[in-house]
Amino acid sequence: MNVTIGSIRSAAERLEGVVIETPLLSNKYLNDRLGGRVFIKPECLQHIGAFKFRGAYNRLCQLSGEEKLFGCVAFSSGNHAQGIALAASLLNIESTVVMPKDAPRLKLAGAKRLGAKVIQYDRSTESREEIAAQIAIEKRAILVPAFDDWDVMSGQGTVGLELVQQLEAIKLIPDIVLIPCGGGGLMAGSSVAIKALSPSTKIYGVEQENFNDHFLSSRAGKRTKIAGDIPTMCDALMATIPGEMTWSINSKTVDDFLVVSEDEVARAVAFAFRYLKLVIEPGGAVALAALLSKKLDVIGQTVGIVLSGGNIDKDTFRKCVEKYPD
């Protein structure tokens, strides 16, 4: 299997009427500030407040009747866990999610509220992969990875598909698209869709500076693992090595990777609240952060960015807004 424009279109058909087709927004202040036309895909408005629901539902809705009886299990810092919980609930499937003890409280509460059984672990001493694998064996449950899965990636790719189609509807083609990059599933699926529909579009993945494994991998020409032991607000982007499947795609479809600092992310969160009237989580803000900090010259360009999630704890949100009040 692989991710193709065909598999993404099939995912879009499965998701029709279930997923929210998030709008494409434009903001005059942002455009004037950057000198380009920026179109914002706010997946913070998606079910569970993040794009992850798309891939979770596309994977789970294809399970056989027998597979559904044994349930599913996933591991995640939060958004994939919530996506699995909601998708499983809609499909009457029992779900178990393995989440770190230091996951944002908002995400922990969300997964529980949506019906998942939450198993917490210590990320410094325990392996979430091993815990989830053991649960899958014991329950005969289907293990659904957060990103390294063809159906999950195809579901996430509907973000890129929608973005290009929405621009086509107003007779525009994106020159540049920027997408947050954690494990690389959203990046892989969306880059396949975008390149299939608009081959000339330049695609950039954006990472937080202390979790820049994709950037380093692109320079080394192979998957590169980082220590990942420096704290970050961007809990959604804390993968320490690109996925094997996702990298097989992103190494070919992504033009380059950009890196933003913690302060640049905080400023983007505050900017989105003040000027875009959107609440976005740090990991979901990195593409906007890259634009605001002028990582690229977008003067005269048509630019698409994905705000991948909005699940931010109130304390983190307050710190960002107070640090950058204007």
Measured from the Cβ of residue 229, the count of other Cβ atoms closer than 10 Å reads 8
Which pLDDT score, from 0 to 100, does residue 282 have? Answer: 98
Which pLDDT score, from 0 to 100, does residue 128 have? Answer: 87
Report pLDDT digits (tens) over 276-303. 999 999 999 999 999 999 999 999 999 9
CATH topology of domain 5-51+151-323: Rossmann fold (3.40.50)
Question: Do residues 59 and 149 touch, judged by C-beta distance below 8 A?
Answer: yes
Q: What is the pTM of this model?
A: 0.96
Which pLDDT score, from 0 to 100, does residue 242 have? Answer: 97
The fraction of the chain above a pLDDT of 70, given in percent, is 100
Which pLDDT score, from 0 to 100, does residue 105 have? Answer: 87
pLDDT band at 53 (very low <50, low <70, confident <90, very high): very high
Question: Do residues 24 and 282 touch, judged by C-beta distance below 8 A?
Answer: no
Q: What does 237-276 look like in DSSP terms, one character per residue?
A: G--SS--HHHHHHHHHH--EEEEE-HHHHHHHHHHIIIII
302's enclosing H/E stretch is strand 302-307
Which pLDDT score, from 0 to 100, does residue 77 have? Answer: 82
φ/ψ region of 171 (left if φ > 0, alpha if ψ in -120 to 50, else beta) reads left
Polymer length of the chain: 326
pLDDT band at 326 (very low <50, low <70, confident <90, very high): confident
Question: Do residues 55 and 155 touch, judged by C-beta distance below 8 A?
Answer: yes
Report pLDDT digits (tens) over 170-223. 999 999 999 999 999 999 999 999 999 999 999 999 999 999 999 999 999 999
pLDDT band at 57 (very low <50, low <70, confident <90, very high): very high
Residue 132 to residue 119: CA distance in whole angstroms: 9
Which pLDDT score, from 0 to 100, does residue 17 have? Answer: 97
Residue 212's contacts (CB-CB under 8 Å, 6 or more residues apart) are 226, 257, 259
Reference 217, options 238, 237, 196, 247; nearest CA is 247
Report pLDDT digits (tens) over 35-44. 999 999 999 9
Q: What is the dihedral of CA 50, 10, 58, 305, to 10 degrees?
A: -10
Each domain of the chain, given as residue ranges in start order, spans 5-51+151-323, 53-148
Do 5-51+151-323 and 53-148 agree at the fold level? yes
Q: From 1.10.10.10, 3.40.50.300, 3.60.20.10, 3.40.50.1100, which CATH number describes the 53-148 domain?
A: 3.40.50.1100
